[in-house]
């Protein structure tokens, strides 16, 4: 009897579990008429149209990734200033290590309706959270939210919500900037004038080829893994990776994509890149610091890395403008600050998001000597720190080169998922190994990208 009873109980439990699983999956709103965001019950004011109203009061959580160690004092100061300006508020700062599982953990938090009230996200994470409806529509909830930001950066924060509509769910924060970094000594050995950086991507590839011919395996031009260049190079060449509505991949339609893959294949074959870097996750940092690679990372912070780790190579390091190519300027992929639609104190969370990203705080952080980053607010970029750069060291030059184009930039980096990037990169790798023609690789890459877009729609 007892065994039967137990069996019945367990069966009921299993059925309930299955039902619960189904409930957990359904998300997207309930029949009760309560406001929901991403399947979580939220305050009605957090969703739909209309400005967010309510008192700025109460406790919120603020999550960053790996910033406490170097910038603890700065952020504690910002938090204290906010709490002083808004009595009755308390900000709890959580600094996540920001490892490889960060994205997945954030997704798990979102599914559990426990996203931090304010969080630092990159473009892919912001896109996915917006698509599932977990973020506050800041463009609607504060119609003045756009005002402080450079138009291109504000435009970059436009993402698709669950209904497919374009909404602003994040505030631009800081950007790393893009520029060429190179070892002048190695460039001279290859017969390249460091003072005249190329203006097109293919021009840069031609310089890589010169390096390969001159070096004969003693040093290299750059790293082989295409993951560092897709879609950044294509953006620069104004090759459209995705269609305007983002629903299909179109890069194969542009003949320059095949030419780009052919260049990469030739460079790999000619020894412009270390053979073992084809599918390596190592960026050029280590080999550049050893004087084995002529071109370094395109991130100004990289210069600081070289200065700290290899002073002798730093002495030979110079920076130049990244080839503008057909686009006419570089593209940025800033970091963003998002406000969770699931916040219990959304007015406070939004107020803190705006406080953190305002011109004053952005400028103050970008001036921190421990970091080489750039602000996304117009007023910050007008600051003499960026406009009246003196000195000819690589840092000063980097600041000058990046800041002068940020204000006029009109486009931003194409946002594709990591899985799609890997799928495209994998096909290019096969072409570089000579296992596929460039044309076939591009065609297959597009087919795989479209398959992914289809399954996610």
Partner 1 sequence: MAATHTTNPVSVPGAEAKVSAPGPAPSRARRLARAVLPGPAPGANGAAMYRRWWLPWLWTAPAIACAVIFGVFPFLNTMLLSFTNAKPLGGAYRFVGLDNYTRMLDDSDFWLATRNSILYALIVVPLMVLLPLLLAVLVEKNLPGIGFFRSAFYTPVLASSVVVGLSWQWLLADDGLVNTWLQKAHLIRSAIPFLSDSWLILLSAMGLTLWKGLGWYMVFYLAALGNVPKELHEAAAMDGAGAARRFWHITVPGVRQAMMLVGTLTGIGSLRVFTEIYMLGSATGGPGGADRTLPFYIRDVGLDPITGNAGYGSAVSVALFLLTLGLTLLAQRLTKEDEA
Written as six digits, the tokens of 77 are 């100061």
User: C-beta of 417: minimal distance to partner 1 in Å?
Assistant: 4
Least distance to partner 1, CB of residue 103, Å = 6
Non-local CB neighbours of 145 within 8 Å, separated by 6+ positions: 138, 139, 168, 171, 354
Least distance from partner 1 to the Cβ atom of residue 375, Å: 27
Question: Within 274-313, which residues bind partner 1 (CB under 8 A)?
Answer: 274-276, 278-282
What is the size of the binding site for partner 1 (CB under 8 A)? 60
Q: Contact with partner 1 (CB under 8 A): which of 56, 78, 132, 258?
A: 132
Binding positions for partner 1, 428-447, rule CB under 8 A: 429-430, 432-433, 435
Q: Which is nearer to partner 1, 35 or 430 (CB)?
A: 430
β-pair partners for 293: 220
- Residue 35 CB, shortest distance to partner 1, in Å, is 16
How far apart CA 148 and CA 330 sit, in angstroms, is: 21
* Interface segment toward partner 1; rule CB under 8 A; list 58-66, 172-180, 297-305, 413-421: 413-421
Rounded to a whole number of angstroms, the minimum distance from the CB of residue 233 to partner 1 is 17
Q: Is 17 in the site for partner 1 (CB under 8 A)?
A: yes
Instruction: Select the residue interacting with partner 1 from 58, 116, 133, 332 (CB under 8 A).
Output: 133
Give the nearer residue to partner 1 in terms of CB position, either 307 or 417: 417
Cα gap 296→29, rounded to integer Å: 48
Select from 57, 68, 90, 131 the one that contacts partner 1 (CB under 8 A).
Answer: 131
Q: Judged by CB, which is closer to partner 1: 133, or 198?
A: 133
Position 198 contacts partner 1 (CB under 8 A): no
Among 52, 78, 129, 438, interactor with partner 1 by CB under 8 A: 129
Confirm or reject binding of residue 14 to partner 1 (CB under 8 A).
yes
Q: How far is the CB of 315 from partner 1 (least distance, A)?
A: 24
Q: Give the C-alpha separation, 229 to 210, whole Å.
A: 19
Between residues 132 and 346, which has the closer beta carbon with respect to partner 1? Answer: 132
Element (H, E) at 18: helix 2-26
DSSP secondary structure string, 391-447? --SHHHHHHHHHHHHHTT---B-----HHHHHHHHHHHHHHHTTSS-HHHHHHHHHH
42 binds partner 1 (CB under 8 A): no
* CA distance from start to end of the chain: 51
d(CA 29, CA 434): 50
x/- site string to partner 1, residues 148 to 187, per CB under 8 A? --------------x-------------------------
Instruction: Kindly identify the residues of this chain, within the stretch 213-232, that bind partner 1 according to CB under 8 A.
Output: 225, 227
Handedness of CA 252, 254, 255, 261 (dihedral sign): negative
User: Residue 178: which region, alpha, beta or left (left: phi > 0; alpha: psi -120 to 50)?
Assistant: beta
| Residue 49 or 104 with smaller CB distance to partner 1 | 104
**Rounded Cα distance, 422 and 419, in Å:** 5
For residue 163, give every residue at least 6 positions away whose Cβ sits within 8 Å of its Cβ, in sequence order, or none.
Answer: none
How many Å apart are CA 136 and CA 130, to the nearest integer? 8
Cα 347 to chain center, whole Å? 26
Residue 27 touches partner 1, criterion: CB under 8 A: yes
Nearer Cβ to partner 1, position 22 or 87?
22
Using CB under 8 A as the binding rule, the residues of this chain from 83 to 122 that contact partner 1 are 103-104, 107, 110-111
Looking up tokens 């939220």 gives 42
SS3 content of the chain, % helix, strand, coil (to 5): 50, 15, 40
User: By the criterion CB under 8 A, which residues form the site for partner 1?
Assistant: 2, 6, 13-14, 17-18, 20-22, 24-28, 38-39, 103-104, 107, 110-111, 124-125, 127-129, 131-134, 162, 225, 227, 274-276, 278-282, 416-420, 422-423, 425-427, 429-430, 432-433, 435, 452-453, 455-456
């Amino acid at each position: 009897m007892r065994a039967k009873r137990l069996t019945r109980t367990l069966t009921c439990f299993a059925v309930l579990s299955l039902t619960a699983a189904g409930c957990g999956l359904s998300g997207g709103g309930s029949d009760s008429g309560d406001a929901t965001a991403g399947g979580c019950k939220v305050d009605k004011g957090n969703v739909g149209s209309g400005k967010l109203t309510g008192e700025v009061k109460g406790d919120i959580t603020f999550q960053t990734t790996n910033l406490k160690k170097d910038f603890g004092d700065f952020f504690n100061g910002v938090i204290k200033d906010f709490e002083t300006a808004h009595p009755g508020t308390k900000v709890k700062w959580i600094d996540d290590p920001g490892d490889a599982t960060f994205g997945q953990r954030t997704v798990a938090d979102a599914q559990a309706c426990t996203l931090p009230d304010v969080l630092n996200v990159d473009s892919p994470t912001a896109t996915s959270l917006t698509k599932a409806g977990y973020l506050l529509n800041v463009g609607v909830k504060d119609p003045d939210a756009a005002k402080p930001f450079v138009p291109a950066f504000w435009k970059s924060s436009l993402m698709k919500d669950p209904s497919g509509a374009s909404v602003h769910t994040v505030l631009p924060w800081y950007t790393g900037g893009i520029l060429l970094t190179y070892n002048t000594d190695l460039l001279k050995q290859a017969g390249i004038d460091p003072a005249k950086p190329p203006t097109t991507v293919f021009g840069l590839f031609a310089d890589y080829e010169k390096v390969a011919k001159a070096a004969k395996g003693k040093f290299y031009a750059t790293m082989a893994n295409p993951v560092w260049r897709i879609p950044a190079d294509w953006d620069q060449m104004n090759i459209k990776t995705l269609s305007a509505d983002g629903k299909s991949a179109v890069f194969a339609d542009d003949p320059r994509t095949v030419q780009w893959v052919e260049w990469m294949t030739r460079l790999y074959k000619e020894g412009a890149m270390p053979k073992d870097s084809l599918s390596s996750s190592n960026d050029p940092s280590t080999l550049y610091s050893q004087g084995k690679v002529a071109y370094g990372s395109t991130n100004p912070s990289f210069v600081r890395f070289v200065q700290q780790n290899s002073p002798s190579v730093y002495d030979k390091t110079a920076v130049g403008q990244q080839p503008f190519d057909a686009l006419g300027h570089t593209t940025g992929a800033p970091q963003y600050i998002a406000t969770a639609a699931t916040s219990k104190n959304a007015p406070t969370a939004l107020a803190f998001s705006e406080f953190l990203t305002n011109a004053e705080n952005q400028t103050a952080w970008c001036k921190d000597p421990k970091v080489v980053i750039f602000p996304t607010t117009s007023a910050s970029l007008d600051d003499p720190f960026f406009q009246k750069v003196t000195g000819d060291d690589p840092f000063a030059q980097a600041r000058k080169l990046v800041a002068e184009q940020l204000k006029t930039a009109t486009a931003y980096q194409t946002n594709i998922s990591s899985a799609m990037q890997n799928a495209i990169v994998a096909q290019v790798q096969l072409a570089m190994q000579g296992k596929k023609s460039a044309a076939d690789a591009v065609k297959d890459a597009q087919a795989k990208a479209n398959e992914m877009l289809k399954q996610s729609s």
